[in-house]
Amino acid sequence: MKPPLPGQEPRPTRSFAYRAGDPLWTIAQGRPIEFSGDEKFYFFGRNCGAGEAMTVVADLAPARLADSLPIARLPKSGTAGWALGVTANGDVFLRVGSRERHADAVARGVLQVGRTTQVAATFFQGEICLFVNGELKARTKTPFARLDDTGTPGRMGANSGRYEAVGDVTLSTNGPTNAQNWGSYAGRLGGVSIYNRSLSAAEVAALNPRR
**pTM of the complete model:** 0.86
DSSP H stretches of helix in 171-211: 201-207
- What pLDDT digit, counting tens, does each position of 157-191 carry? 987 665 555 444 444 555 544 445 688 999 999 99
Cα 30-34-36 angle, rounded to 5 deg: 170
What percent of the chain has pLDDT above 90? 65
- What pLDDT digit, counting tens, does each position of 42-85 carry? 999 989 999 999 999 999 999 999 999 999 999 989 989 999 99
Confidence of residue 149 (pLDDT cuts 50, 70, 90): confident
Between CA 4 and CA 27 the distance in angstroms is 9
Between CA 40 and CA 45 the distance in angstroms is 17
